[in-house]
Amino acid sequence: MKSPLGLSADLPVADLVSEAVALLWSKRAAVIKMFLPAMLILALVDWSSSTFLAENNYAGQFGFLIVSILLSVVFATSCHRFTLLPQDKWDANALHGMRREEFRYLLRGLLLGVIGAVVFFCTMLVAMLFIGQEEAWLGAVAGVLPALYIWSRLSITLPELALGQKSDLKRAWSLSEGNGSRLVLVVFIVPIALASPFLALFMLDHSVLSYVAAFGTYITSLISLVMLSLSYRFLLDFYEPQAAENEQEYQPAETSVKQQDSGFDA
């Protein structure tokens, strides 16, 4: 994609990280009010599933997984709106139940997961035809790289879905053109690096530390979601400045549903 002046944008990843942290810190009172209870509950759900359920209790684990996914979608969409909308619209778009935007977000996330899995396994199988099964780990590495690349590029418009706007995979691919490797940093590498201290706590196999670890990963998830939102806004401001102005006019689904067509397109 090119800007109206024929230029291409390069995501400033380091600046996005610092801006995300600065935004959350400067708005920390609102962040605590809006997201702390959700992060505590999400951590409790994950902690409870690993503490009170046996690993072979598949029905129970699946139930906890569904609850965690639905809460995570509500958490993510609210975080995108917190980042991208003016402050006077935060209360109207704070944490709530599953609405049309959340279902679209969920379906798009599932679709990206399927695409990533297909790319991973196909690439791994092709790689193993050349290197042999004895070097299967190399095939796995070969499969992970393109899967992460494609997943990261297609995820750039998830914030757009959270704002109640339609956005297909073609648009995501076009908007992220030339920034695939940078988006891998934004979507995967930097979030994993930020979460690594908390992920290490899981290895200690201590009940209290496991809860702290789960809570810490959601703190880093909050930073990651803000980074993705800022990346989307950076590219939108560069390529489609008029659309960037229009996105500020988002209204809650309860008041805008009559103005939009129905359906949960992914």
pLDDT in tens, 108-150: 999 999 999 999 999 998 888 887 777 777 888 888 999 999 9
The residue-averaged pLDDT of 91-104 equals 77
Claim: this prediction has a pTM higher than 0.95: no
Q: What is the pLDDT of residues 184-239, one digit of tens each?
A: 999 999 999 999 999 998 888 788 899 999 999 999 999 999 999 999 999 998 88
Q: What is the pLDDT of residues 158-191, one digit of tens each?
A: 999 999 888 899 999 999 998 999 999 999 999 9
Residues with Cβ within 8 Å of residue 13, at least 6 apart in sequence: 182, 185, 186, 190
DSSP codes of every residue in 132-193: -GGGHHHHHHHHHHHHHHHHHHHGGGHHHHHTT----HHHHHHHTTT-HHHHHIIIIIHHHH
